[in-house]
């Protein structure tokens, strides 16, 4: 039987960040991944890295995004891992008067005036000439960045291994059981592992792992999809997005038991969402659909076509560029919109990290650091109050 102090289930960006930061603190870590590192959403996303503006007082989203950006920067510049990190900034296009009004509110609410600026269409096109002259303007988030998602996730995993963490891939967990002494027995592939503490970082598969222990983890599976053009010479400098979905989600009424930031409700499109960039290899990549489809990760051609039209409205050059390839992935959205980071109530040796929706790549590195700090010190970081699983994860038979 294998023995480990801490076993982490899941080799996406959340799991490898937890492994990296726990091993940095001296813990003996074993990470189990059913496929390859970055095989799912962590390697399939647009790899946009946000730095969310503060809104008067420190908040969790701003902490996670700013901290994650610094971790990626350190990987590239201090640890010399070529993850294609570039602090490119993001331009969020404004196409209507209602969007312009919301954009003004975003600027006014930001405590740090340097974190977001409202640009006229002329100012926006002066730094991104391919933008449509028909826009009303754009929000500029100058601190935002981008990276290669597969390279970044694997670089963090390799850094964890250099610190002593053990990572085993192609090793699906088939059973988890509590032992009388409070530890856990995990069966994965041909391995049996005893763990003093267990971290579930399995993304959309977290509820299935929780079910092995009789625990209901409140996340739902959301399909996202993306597309790419052929490789082109450099044309775009910034990450690009649109205010259209921001306006819809700002105005829409919340629905109980469903995440708020979806593009489809009951099988019907309610808004268009858009984000993208040009990669170092030259492809222009965009995505945006967020639809509740269970474990259905097949591409919807109509959704890809809708997203391509939306992107072409912002960038006319795309109208003449066909989609060369498309792909889909599954994301874990928490039901209440907050990440899940911390111990399961009544189960002090069982921990969760996940539920970061479509922002996992941009938030999970810092979430992994905060989880490691909490596990190591035994004290919850103050800003993790909103992410605490207490009162949100149901453990039958326990208050």
User: What confidence tier does 397 reach under pLDDT thresholds 50, 70, 90?
Assistant: low
Q: Is the pLDDT of residue 167 over 90?
A: yes
Q: Taking the CB of residue 281, how many other CB atoms lie within 10 A of it?
A: 11
Q: Is the pLDDT of residue 163 over 60?
A: yes
Does residue 257 register a pLDDT over 90? no
- Asked whether the beta carbons of 296 and 224 are under 8 A apart, the reply is no
What confidence category does residue 252 fall into, taking pLDDT thresholds of 50, 70 and 90? Answer: confident
Taking residues 203-216, what's their average pLDDT? 95
Q: What pLDDT sits at residue 105?
A: 93
Q: Judge whether residue 399 has pLDDT over 60.
A: no
- Give me the residue spans of the domains in the chain: 2-48+150-217+337-387, 90-142+220-334
In this prediction, residue 51 has a pLDDT band, given cuts at 50, 70 and 90, of: confident
The 10s digit of each residue's pLDDT in 275-287 is 999 999 999 999 9
pLDDT at position 54: 65
Residue 10 reports pLDDT greater than 90: yes
Residues 319-333: tens digit of each pLDDT: 999 999 999 999 999
Residues 202 and 364: beta-carbon distance below 8 Å: no
Residue 191: pLDDT band (50, 70, 90) is: very high
Q: Is residue 84 predicted with pLDDT exceeding 90?
A: yes
The alpha helices in 265-325, defined as continuous H runs, are: 301-314
Same fold, 2-48+150-217+337-387 and 90-142+220-334: no
Nearest to residue 10, comparing CAs of 371, 382, 380?
371
Among the ranges given (19-33, 311-325, 382-396), the one the predictor scored with the smallest mean pLDDT: 382-396
Residue 367 backbone phi and psi in degrees, to 5: -60, -40
Evaluate whether 245 touches 282 at the Cβ level (below 8 Å). Answer: no
Instruction: Please check whether residue 364 is in contact with residue 47, taking contact to mean a CB–CB distance below 8 angstroms.
Output: no
CA dist 89 and 119 (Å) reads 13
Instruction: Compute the half-sphere exposure of residue 60: CA atoms within 13 Å on the CB side of its CA.
Output: 18
Report angle CA 321, 322, 324 to the nearest 5 degrees.
120
% of residues, the chain, pLDDT over 90: 82
List the single range of 23-32, 50-59, 210-219, 359-368 with lowest mean pLDDT: 50-59
Is it true that domain 90-142+220-334 has CATH number 3.40.1110.10?
A: no
Integer CA distances (angstroms), 125 to 122, 138, 142, 287, in order: 5, 9, 15, 22
Residue-by-residue DSSP string for 209-265: HHHHTT-B--EEEEEEEEEE----SS---SEEEESHHHHHHHHSPP-TTS-S--SEE
- How does pLDDT run across 299-320, given as a tens digit for each residue? 999 999 999 999 999 999 999 9
256 vs 251: which has the higher pLDDT: 251
pLDDT of residue 398: 60
Mean pLDDT confidence for 57-74: 90
Give the model's pLDDT for residue 256. Answer: 67
What are 103-120's pLDDT values in tens digits? 999 999 887 778 899 999
Rounded to whole angstroms, the Cα distance separating 286 from 263 reads 15
d(CA 332, CA 340): 10
Q: Which CATH number fits domain 2-48+150-217+337-387: 3.90.1580.10, 3.50.50.60, 3.40.50.1860, 3.40.640.10?
A: 3.50.50.60
Distance CA 123, CA 135 (A): 11
Q: What is the mean pLDDT of the chain?
A: 93
CA torsion angle for 306, 310, 311, 316 (degrees, to 10)? 120
| pLDDT above 70 coverage of the chain, percent | 97
Q: Specify the pairing of strand 239-242 against strand 137-141.
A: unpaired
48: pLDDT strictly greater than 80? yes
SS3 278: strand
Note the maximum CA span of the chain. Answer: 67
Q: What's the pLDDT at 293?
A: 83
Q: For residue 356, give the nearest of 89, 71, 12 by alpha carbon.
A: 12
| Residue range 150-154: mean pLDDT, rounded | 97
């Amino acid at each position: 039987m294998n023995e480990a102090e801490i076993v982490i289930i899941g080799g996406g960006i959340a799991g490898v960040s937890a492994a990296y930061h726990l091993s940095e603190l001296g813990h003996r870590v074993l990470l189990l991944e059913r496929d390859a590192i970055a095989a799912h959403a962590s390697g399939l996303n647009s790899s946009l890295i946000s730095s969310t503006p503060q809104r008067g007082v420190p908040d969790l989203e701003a902490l996670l995004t700013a901290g994650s950006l610094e971790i990626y920067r350190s990987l590239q510049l201090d640890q010399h891992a070529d993850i294609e990190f570039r602090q490119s900034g993001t331009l969020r296009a404004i196409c209507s008067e209602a969007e312009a009004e919301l954009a003004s509110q975003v600027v006014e609410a930001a405590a740090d005036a340097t974190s977001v600026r409202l640009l006229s269409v002329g100012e926006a096109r002066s730094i991104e000439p391919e933008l449509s002259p028909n826009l009303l303007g754009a929000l500029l988030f100058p601190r935002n960045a981008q990276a290669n998602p597969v390279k970044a996730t694997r670089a963090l995993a390799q850094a964890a291994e250099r610190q002593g963490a053990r990572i085993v891939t192609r090793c699906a967990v088939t059973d988890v059981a509590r032992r009388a002494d409070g530890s856990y027995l995990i069966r994965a592939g041909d391995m049996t592992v005893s763990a003093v503490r267990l971290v579930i970082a399995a993304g959309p598969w977290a509820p299935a792992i929780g079910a092995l222990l009789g625990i209901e983890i409140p996340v739902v599976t959301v399909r996202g999809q993306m597309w790419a053009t052929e490789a082109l010479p450099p044309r775009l400098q910034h990450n690009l997005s649109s205010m259209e979905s921001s306006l819809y989600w700002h105005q829409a009424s919340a629905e109980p038991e469903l995440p708020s930031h979806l593009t489809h409700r009951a099988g019907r499109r309610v808004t268009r969402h858009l984000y993208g960039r040009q990669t170092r290899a030259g492809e222009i990549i965009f995505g945006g659909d967020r639809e509740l489809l269970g474990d259905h990760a097949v591409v919807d051609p109509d959704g890809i076509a809708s997203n391509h039209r939306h992107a072409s409205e912002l960038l006319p050059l795309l109208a003449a560029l066909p989609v060369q390839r498309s792909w889909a992935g599954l994301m874990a959205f928490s039901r209440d919109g907050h990440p899940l980071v911390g111990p399961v109530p009544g189960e002090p040796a069982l921990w969760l990290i996940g539920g970061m929706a479509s922002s996992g790549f941009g938030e999970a590195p810092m979430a992994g650091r905060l989880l490691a700090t909490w596990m190591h010190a035994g004290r919850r970081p103050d800003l993790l109050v909103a992410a605490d699983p207490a009162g949100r994860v149901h453990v039958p038979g326990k208050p």
